[in-house]
Amino acid sequence: MNPKYRDIIDAAFFFHLDRQKNWQELHKRDRALFLEYVPKDGQEDSARLLSIWLAAQRGKQCIDTESIGTIVSKALSRIHLILLVISFFVGISATTTFLYYSGTTPINIFSFIIIFIGSQLCTITLALLVRLIRSLGQGQKSLSPPLIRYCLALFTSFLAGPLIAKFPAEKRLNYEHALGILKQNKGYSVDLSSLFNRIHQSASISLNIGLLFGALYKIITSDIAFGWQSTLRLSTEYIQTMVQIVSAPWNWSSLLAHANPTLEQIAGSRIILKDGIYHLANQNLSSWWPFLILCLLTYGLLPRILLFLIALLQERKSLQSSTTRRAEYQKLFHRMRTPIYEQKSEKEPGQTIGADATDKDRRFSHTGDEQSQTGHQATVTVLIAADIRNARHDNILKTLLLQHGYRAERLITFMADYASDQEIVDQLALQNSKQHCPIFIVMEANMVPLTEFLSYVQTIREKTQTTVEVLLVNSLADGSLVSPKETETLLWQQKIAGLGDSFIQLFPITLGEIQ
């Protein structure tokens, strides 16, 4: 199953709702779906897992109403259809108005080519240059170009808002949620430019079809005279050379090659104001229309069809890869594939497993997970701040990560000095170039997240192109580790969210989980 826009939007909304739930609750819920719908040796690709999860969430959250993704998808389809109709009639109106012939002044072919063909070629070239500059100038591009975000904000503020107020109360909240997702800059999990690029190209195709219909209508129903004139001293031979160059795409056809005006017809359609047009022959003045129609078809409609096909392929690729470009999807698939472990301690009930705990004190069993033996464990690299790193803390952190389905392959001390920290970044980049490995960074929660640390995290993310999770703990005087306070977590969460990278997040832990 290839994801659709309704799936991506629904997933973004459900992920937003899940932020209020702890990791254990989400793990149990998602793992239960995996065990219920995925057989032991069955297909468990990401697309199928996402389909199972979305179906379950829609069944719970959208019982008596349509899902937010369905609402937005229907709205976009209607807007798309309206744009196609408007573009078609704008094209017809443009050519029928331009080709109005009063009988005294022929239509200048230069004006026709510049307005209806040259403007489109300039627009296409400018759009390609902007796209190239954005791709080369930004390593981490925003999901939506500023113009698209501005159009969305304009639509939601001035058009959609008043319309939503007229809906019944039971549907109004869902529409407001949908608009909230659309207006988010980095919370939207698919590149909006691919969607709007496809809509733009399809509207341009409709516009060019309208231009062709309007031009052919005027040519068939009216006696239109075409000619050429310019203040520049252009010879008929020069004009013929330009015609041959422009008509190169269809000159290979003996049939279409006769659509080009001959040298005599070019000379006979030259307009000189002081001489008037009464001495010009009608067959020369009407010889240009096949050439102009083919120009409009070749340089107007066909490039738009080609760009539409490219946009369609890019959109499909964007949708297919949308589940790999955001950390929320990776965490969802990890929760579904990871067995649920239960910690069993050899100590007395109620006794804390603290800093003096050893591996012998900890045993893990699968909680009725029938697919535990084939469970998923991701290998991760753990960076631990130098002021809290010791062997006993290492054991506690390994235990915690194992409970969440992560196996700590490497534990590295950082924040000792600048040189060693930079060397760690280079080592991580080399490691992830060979094998993808998420990175966990363990920090004391009572420390303020300084700009230098946040910049260091961003550097790791850029160099490794992998998920970076910040795990907050507090070290007590007796050497044990405790979970952070709610105020500390909130501060760190705000700072990390300000980085604008969904692959840099706080690792979800709850009070008492690592005590």
How confident is the prediction for the chain on average, in pLDDT? 79
Give me the amino acid identity at 382.
V
Q: Residue 90 above 90 pLDDT? A: yes
C-alpha triplet 360, 364, 370: angle, nearest 5°: 155
Number of H helices, E strands in the chain: 21, 10
Lowest mean pLDDT of 128-142, 225-239, 269-283, 461-475, name the range.
Answer: 128-142
Q: Which residues contact 368 (CB under 8 A, 6 or more apart)?
A: none
Give me the amino acid identity at 435.
Q
* CB 287 within 8 Å of CB 243: no
Q: Which residues contact 453 (CB under 8 A, 6 or more apart)?
A: 443
The residue-averaged pLDDT of 142-161 equals 54
Q: Residue 377 above 90 pLDDT? A: no
Winning range, highest mean pLDDT, from 303-307, 382-386, 418-422: 303-307
Q: Residue 514 above 60 pLDDT? A: no
Give the pLDDT confidence of 330-352 residue by residue, as tens digits. Answer: 888 888 888 776 555 444 433 34
* CB 353 within 8 Å of CB 440: no
pTM of the model: 0.71
Q: Greater confidence, 503 or 411?
A: 411
User: Which one-letter DSSP state was computed for residue 339?
Assistant: P
Q: Residue 365 above 50 pLDDT? A: no
The residue-averaged pLDDT of 364-380 equals 55
Give me the amino acid identity at 290.
P
Residue 237 CA: distances (Å) to CA of 234, 251, 257, 276, 277: 8, 18, 17, 22, 21
Q: Greater confidence, 357 or 27?
A: 27
Give me the amino acid identity at 215.
A
Strands 341-345 and 439-444: unpaired
Q: Which residues contact 353 (CB under 8 A, 6 or more apart)?
A: 343, 345, 347, 361, 362, 396, 399, 515
**pLDDT for the residue numbered 475:** 82
Whose CA is closest to 399, among 446, 437, 447, 345?
345
Residues in the chain: 515
* CB 51 within 8 Å of CB 95: no
**pLDDT for the residue numbered 349:** 39
In angstroms, the CA 126 to CA 350 distance is 69
**pLDDT for the residue numbered 292:** 93
Burial status of residue 177 (CB atoms within 10 A of its CB: 0-12, 13-18, 19 or more): middle
Helix (H, G, I), strand (E, B) or coil at 504: strand
Residue 114 CA: distances (Å) to CA of 88, 93, 118, 432, 506: 20, 17, 4, 52, 56
**pLDDT for the residue numbered 179:** 58
Q: What is the CATH number of domain 378-507?
A: 3.40.50.10140
Beta bridge partners of residue 506, listed in sequence order: 470
| Banded pLDDT at 172 (limits 50, 70, 90) | low
Number of C-beta neighbours around residue 1 at 10 A: 12
- Strands (DSSP E) contained in 64-170 are 107-108
In angstroms, the CA 300 to CA 211 distance is 9
Give me the amino acid identity at 14.
F
Q: Residue 142 above 50 pLDDT? A: no
Give the pLDDT confidence of 399-423 residue by residue, as tens digits. Answer: 888 877 788 888 999 988 889 999 9
- Strands (DSSP E) contained in 55-191 are 107-108
**pLDDT for the residue numbered 320:** 77
Whose CA is closest to 226, among 239, 237, 208, 245?
239
**pLDDT for the residue numbered 407:** 85
Residue 265 CA: distances (Å) to CA of 240, 259, 261, 274: 10, 12, 6, 20
**pLDDT for the residue numbered 225:** 86
Q: Where in the chain is the domain with CATH 3.40.50.10140?
A: 378-507
* CB 429 within 8 Å of CB 464: yes
Q: Which residues contact 395 (CB under 8 A, 6 or more apart)?
A: 357, 358, 359
Give the pLDDT confidence of 265-287 residue by residue, as tens digits. Answer: 888 888 776 666 666 777 888 88
Q: What is the CA radius of gyration of the chain?
A: 32
At 500, give phi and psi (nearest 5°).
Answer: 70, 25
At 278, give phi and psi (nearest 5°).
Answer: -70, -25
* CB 437 within 8 Å of CB 466: yes
In angstroms, the CA 118 to CA 300 distance is 9
| Banded pLDDT at 500 (limits 50, 70, 90) | confident
| Banded pLDDT at 75 (limits 50, 70, 90) | confident
C-alpha triplet 386, 387, 392: angle, nearest 5°: 85
Positive or negative CA dihedral for 325, 331, 332, 336?
positive
Report residue 230 as tokens.
């310019």
In angstroms, the CA 113 to CA 116 distance is 6
Give me the amino acid identity at 46.
S
Report residue 392 as tokens.
């006993």
Q: Residue 431 above 80 pLDDT? A: yes
Whose CA is closest to 460, among 495, 494, 431, 498?
431
